[in-house]
C-alpha cells in the first residue's frame, strides 16, 4: 500500500474541476496584469506652441481647430465652438493664453494674457477650479507654450509632466 492510499484524505491530493477553474482564473488575471505593465504609456514628445501658432487657431476660420491656452497648456476647444467660434461669447479667449481673463472671469482686452501678476488668492483658486474642472476634464490637450515648459530664466521646468494630464493627446497633424 502506498502512502496516498494509506491516507484517509487521499482524495484531497487530486485536482478537482473547481481547483482547475480557480487556477485558470488566477493565470488569466496574472497575464492581464502583465499586459497592463507592458502597455504603460510611453512618454511622447509634445508640441511647443509659439504665440503665432496659437493665433492661427483663433476660431476665425470655419472648420479649423480652435485652441486656447491656460497656464501654458494648450487645449483643443473645437467641440465648444458655440462658446469659442467666430460669433461665440468667449471668442476673445481663443488663439492665445488667457490665464488672467479666466482667473478674473473677465473679457477685458487687458486681461487676455498669461500674466498672473497681482491676482488675488480667490482669483487664483477660481482659475485652478476652472482649469481642472472645466478644461482638463472637457478638452484634449494638444501642446504647451514656453511658459509651461521653461522657467523664467530659460531652464527646464522640472515639474512639467505631460503624461499626468487627462486626455493627453498628440494630434497626428504635427
Of positions 47, 55, 65, 83, contacts ligand HEM by CB under 6 A? 83
State yes or no: residue 105 binds ligand HEM (CB under 6 A): yes
Per-position x/- string for 131-150, each x denoting binding to ligand HEM as judged by CB under 6 A, each - no binding: ---x---x------------
Closer to ligand HEM by CB, 100 or 148: give it.
100
3-state SS, residue 149: helix
H-only helix segments in 39-155: 51-55, 81-84, 99-104, 121-130, 137-138, 146-149
Nine-digit cell string for 80: 465648444
d(CA 43, CA 162): 8
Query: Contacting ligand HEM (CB under 6 A), which of 102, 112, 141, 147?
Result: 102
Positions 53 through 72 that interact with ligand HEM (CB under 6 A): none
Compose the 17-56 pattern: x for residues touching ligand HEM by CB under 6 A, - for all others: ----------------------------------------
Query: What's the closest the beta carbon of residue 107 comes to ligand HEM, in angstroms?
Result: 5
Q: Between residues 64 and 161, which has the closer beta carbon with respect to ligand HEM?
A: 64
Tell me how far CA of residue 111 lies from CA of 31, 50, 101, 161, in angstroms. Answer: 53, 19, 5, 27
Q: Where are the alpha helices (DSSP H) in 42-143?
A: 51-55, 81-84, 99-104, 121-130, 137-138
Amino acid at each position: 500500500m502506498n502512502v496516498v492510499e494509506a491516507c484517509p484524505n487521499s482524495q484531497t491530493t487530486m485536482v478537482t474541476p473547481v481547483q482547475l477553474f480557480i487556477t485558470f482564473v488566477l493565470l488569466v488575471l496574472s497575464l492581464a496584469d502583465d499586459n497592463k505593465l507592458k502597455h504603460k504609456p510611453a512618454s511622447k514628445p509634445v508640441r511647443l506652441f509659439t504665440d503665432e501658432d496659437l493665433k492661427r487657431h483663433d476660431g476665425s476660420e470655419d472648420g479649423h481647430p480652435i485652441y486656447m491656452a491656460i497656464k501654458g497648456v494648450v487645449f483643443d476647444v473645437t467641440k465648444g465652438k458655440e462658446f469659442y467660434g467666430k460669433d461665440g461669447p468667449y471668442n476673445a479667449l481663443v488663439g492665445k493664453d488667457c490665464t488672467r481673463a479666466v482667473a478674473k472671469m473677465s473679457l477685458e482686452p487687458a486681461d487676455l494674457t498669461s500674466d498672473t501678476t497681482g491676482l488675488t488668492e480667490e482669483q487664483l483658486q477660481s482659475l485652478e477650479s476652472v482649469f481642472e474642472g472645466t478644461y482638463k476634464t472637457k478638452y484634449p490637450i494638444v501642446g504647451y507654450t514656453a511658459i509651461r515648459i521653461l522657467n523664467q530664466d530659460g531652464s527646464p521646468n522640472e515639474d512639467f509632466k505631460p503624461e499626468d494630464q487627462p486626455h493627453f493627446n498628440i494630434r497626428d497633424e504635427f
